[in-house]
Structure 1
Amino acid sequence: MANKTIAAPASSTLKTQGTALQRFLQATEIDTRLLGMVGALLLIWIGFEISTGGLFLTPRNLWNLTVQASSVSVMATGMVLVIVTRNIDLSVGSILGFVGMIMAITQARILPPLIGFDNPATWVIALTIGILLGAAIGAFQGMIIAFLSVPAFIVTLGGLLIWRAAAFLVISGATVAPMDTKFRIMGGGADGSIGATASWVVGVIACVAIVLSIVNSRKQRKRFGFPLRPKWAEYFLSITGCVGVLGAVWVLNSYYMPVNLAKRYAELNNIAWPEGGLQIPLGIAVPVLMAVGIAIAMSFLTTRTRFGRYVFAIGGNPEAAELAGIKTRWVTVRIFALMGALCAIAAAISTARLNAATNAQGTLDELYTIAAAVIGGTSLAGGVGTIAGAVIGAIVMQSLQSGMVLLRVDTPLQSIVIGIVLVMAVWLDTVYRGRAK
């Protein structure tokens, strides 16, 4: 038989129809739900900016907002996978508290007699122990769910109680402090930021990555004969992405080191203190970089790997996924193990930011994490969810909290508002799925 070469069908430009807005969305392939969340976030920001008299959209508040949203953002990326597979994890806040306590004890009580306090290896050992412990806890819960067929709601509700009590028992409710100096870098602050120059470098690298990803996507579409986006749409996406990244870097670089910290910095570096003081930009905080890096890695995992395809296949139709040969039980175990590891990273960020571990650490974080994922478009019916949406959801949650704090809203009222927003998000998801059928 003669060898035949099968050529890929010629690529064509995406066909668009409808109103101008519909044609624009079809050409750019922008997710309308994601666009809606960004619009809602901007409305929240503008509303708080007006109601607080210009205090909300200041570089200082936005810088603090990004740092405070980091730990919930990290956990929300894992919660997307959990909810997509029609499960739930109510134990993430308690796991954060327990693992954070273990990491604190490791670096404040166990390691100093062995290798000394502030040893260069301390933070590595503590973080490694935390991640392994978090993954083990998650895998243990996942095995009960997958192999003993106990509902995830019950298993993780039990975990919420068990790990919170365990955090109290290991140190009898005492606060453990201080943390290792290098470990504290993961919490942000003056020492946990990369400065203006490094921030611009990160921004430029991000812009190059955005352009290269769009160029690579076009090449892959040509290779397999898929319809191509119009060139103007790709230029628009590239420019918008780069402007967004560089604009964010500019805002973060506009927040300067507080005066007392700037004076300490000047003393340590033998810098004369000028009459007008020193303006030292903090730049991007380390926990923000960690959260962004994890979001990128999780996006790659969910969209570019076999494991990610399995997760969404199970969420779409568990029976069909099992009949297709997917080992659904082991996928479930891996999802919960990954969720536990992400809780450990969030615990490191939270503990480093507080420079201490307390028994109350992570309280209610499970609700904020679930809310961030759901507000971000993850459907409780399973099969639908995005990492980017969860990150935006975490920022929405933190924006609501920060805005209400600036308005001096009482804590009970803050909880009421968060609850209302969560219910509305689920209702909107129900409406959206109903119209999509």
Structure 2
Amino acid sequence: MSDLSPAAPPRRNWLEQLEIDLRLLGMIGAFALVCLCFWIVTDGRFLSARNIFNLTIQTVSVAIMATGMVFVIVCRHIDLSVGAILALASAMMGMMQARWLADVLGLGNPLIAPLTMVTGLAVGTAIGALNGWLVGYQRIPAFIVTLGGLLIWRYVGWYLTAGQTIAPLDQTFLLFGGAEGTLGVTASWIVGGLASLAALWVILSGRRRKQAHGFPVRPIWAEGAVMALVVALIMGFVAILNSYEVPQAKLKRIFEARGEAMPEGFTAGYGLPISVLILIMVAVAMTVIASRTRFGRYIFATGGNPDAAELSGINTRLLTVKIFALMGFLCGLSAIIAQARLQSHPNDIGTLDELRVIAAAVIGGTALSGGIGTIYGAILGALIMQSLQSGMAMVGADAPLQNIVVGVVLVFAVWIDIQYRRRLGMR
């Protein structure tokens, strides 16, 4: 009589029990290796609190656009116009602050910053929607539409500003750029604690959902290890940013502006930049859209098989408009952060950002064939690229060499991704 009892499940090693994405683990390992190499050749300066602070604020604008590029590429499109859209949105916002609104409302008016930001977001969204309409309803290939946009929008901005650098900017607006706008030490600890609690809640609620539907879950020790690692990363990041102290000369100017004398021995840390907080909120929102909404499911279904998605009732044309409009909105948001960080509108703002954004998404695991991509991967890809550029700048490498290295890394990352998918039997 044959034994009909179910076979025992295969034993899993500790790495499988942790259920960690091996590709993500490889990216983290590559990032750690890059940091270690530059830490050695720069005598520890690369991993100083100051450089980590600067690295994070330099990564934000490209990382925000990379989250939108994930959706574009997942749907088997491409957007080469993101840098030009950023430049035009920046030109509009520069003129709003330094010319138009300043003449009407007066310098320093509290309405200038919000009206300027709404204008930048509206310009980006409108251009993105136009791109999506041309691609989705007029059936013009996205490569051609956005290549035309790359050539058009930056020079529309150039004519708008008459080729001039636009400054000064509104002081409230500058808070969104980095060092001028941070939460401070106490508020940063509070945000870090709330973020840790939110991360723990997400992990535990995901475990409960799996148990409710009868899916296997991690062992208790593995769940605890993942939670401890996540909390350690969040609070460690906050601790590093808090340890970067505001220069004494700047503190003295702040106290003098208040009409006060700075206490002897007074120090203050920068803490979490507002721009980084915006990136975190964008990452959370885009992850929720990708994994928890009908819009996100339609995006991945369309990218996996466009014909089947259309036959199943998905309005792929309207979906294309929405995706490109979202990409344009994120370009406008990145324009706010990039312009505030530079404290002016230079005519070369956003130059080559389209290549950096696409590279960040692809290095982060977004498949150019469509259907596959993650938000956290794109952000990590942007951080790896910025780390390479920052590290090479610190050791004295010139700009051409930096671009050569980034290009090599991009091709190598795609090759690694192809080999990885082949081993897993994926297309």
TM-score by length of 1: 0.93
Q: Distance in 2 between matches of 1:27 and 1:122?
A: 53
Deviation at 1:230, TM superposition (A): 1.4
Partner of 2:393 in structure 1?
405
Residue aligning to 2:268:
280
The Cα shift of 1:294 comes to: 0.4
- Aligned equivalents of 1:213 and 1:15: distance in 2? 27
User: Which one is further off, 357-366 or 218-227?
Assistant: 218-227
Distance apart, 1:15 and its partner CA: 5.5
Give, in whole Å, the separation in 1 of the partners of 2:105 and 2:262: 38
Task: Quote the offset at 1:337 in angstroms.
Answer: 0.3
Range that drifts further, 107-116 or 125-134? 107-116
Question: What residue number does 1:253 align with?
Answer: 242
Q: Deviations over 1:285-320 (max 9, x none)?
A: 111111111011000000110110111111111111
SS in structure 1 of the partner of residue 226 of structure 2: helix
Partner of residue 93, structure 1: 83
Contact persistence 1:186–1:287 (CA under 8 A): yes
Whether contact under 8 Å (2:246, 2:268) holds in the other structure is yes
Q: Does 1:234 align with 2:228?
A: no
Whether contact under 8 Å (2:38, 2:46) holds in the other structure is yes
Q: Identical aligned pairs, as a percentage? A: 50
Question: What do residues 302-354 of structure 1 show as CA deviations (whole Å, max 9, x unaligned)?
Answer: 01101101111111111111111111111111000000000000000011111
From 19, 25, 30, the counterpart of 1:29: 19
User: Quick one: which amino acid aligns to residue 231 of structure 2?
Assistant: C
1:133 aligns with 2:123: yes
Measure how far apart 1:245 and its partner are: 0.3
Comparing 146-155 with 364-373, which one deviates more in the overlay? Answer: 146-155
Amino acid at match of 1:392: L
Whole-angstrom CA distance in 1 between matches of 2:150 and 2:214? 50
Query: Which residue does 1:334 correspond to in 2?
Result: 322
Moved more, 223-232 or 373-382: 223-232
Q: CA deviation at 1:269?
A: 4.2
Q: 5 Å matches for 1:8-407?
A: 17-18=11-12, 23-189=13-179, 191-269=180-258, 272-273=261-262, 277-407=265-395
Q: How many residues align?
A: 418
Whole-angstrom CA distance in 2 between matches of 1:384 and 1:336: 18
Cα offsets for 1:82-118 (capped at 9, x unmatched):
1111111110001101101101111211112222222
Contact 2:169 2:344 survives alignment (8 Å): yes
Question: Is residue 101–residue 167 contact of structure 1 (8 Å, CA) maintained in 2?
Answer: yes
Instruction: Give the structure 1 partner of residue 409 of structure 2.
Output: 421
Q: Give the residue type in structure 1 aligned to 2:280.
A: V
Post-superposition CA distance 1:110-148 (Å, at most 9, x none):
112222222212111111111111111001011111112
- SS of the counterpart of 2:346? coil
Take 1:215 and 1:432, find their aligned partners in 2: how far apart are those partners?
Answer: 30
Which amino acid counterpart does residue 153 of structure 1 have in structure 2? F
Q: 1:380 aligns to what SS in structure 2?
A: coil
| Whole-angstrom distance in 2 between the partners of 1:271 and 1:358 | 36
Q: Report deviation, 1:197.
A: 0.3
State the AA in 1 paired with 2:187.
Answer: A
Distance (whole Å) between structure 1 residues aligned to residue 87 and residue 20 of structure 2: 38
Alpha carbons 2:365, 2:377 under 8 Å: kept: yes
CA deviations on 1:345-379 (whole Å, 9 max, x unpaired) are 00000111111112111000111111111111111
Rounded Cα–Cα distance in structure 2 between residues aligned with 1:176 and 1:263: 29
Deviates more, 1:226-235 or 1:386-395: 226-235
Report the aligned-residue RMSD. Answer: 1.4
CA displacement, residues 11-58 of structure 1 (integer Å, 9 cap, x when unaligned): xxx95635xxxx223322211111111111010000000011111000
1:5 corresponds to: none
On the 8 A contact 2:251/2:262 being kept in 1, the answer is no
* Cα offsets for 1:207-241 (capped at 9, x unmatched): 11011112211221232222222111211111110
C-alpha distance 101-15 of structure 1, shift in aligned 2 (>3 A): farther
Residue type matched to 1:114 in 2? V
Counterpart residue identity of residue 209, structure 1: A
Q: Distance in 2 between matches of 1:15 and 1:52?
A: 50
Q: 1:405 and 1:273 mapped to 2: Cα distance?
A: 36
Distance 1:252 1:279 in 2: 14
Partner Cα separation in structure 1 for residue 259 and residue 25 of structure 2: 49
Unaligned runs of 5+ in 1: 1-13
Query: 1:4 corresponds to which residue?
Result: none
TM-score, length-scaled by structure 2: 0.95
Supply the AA of the counterpart residue of 1:141. Answer: N
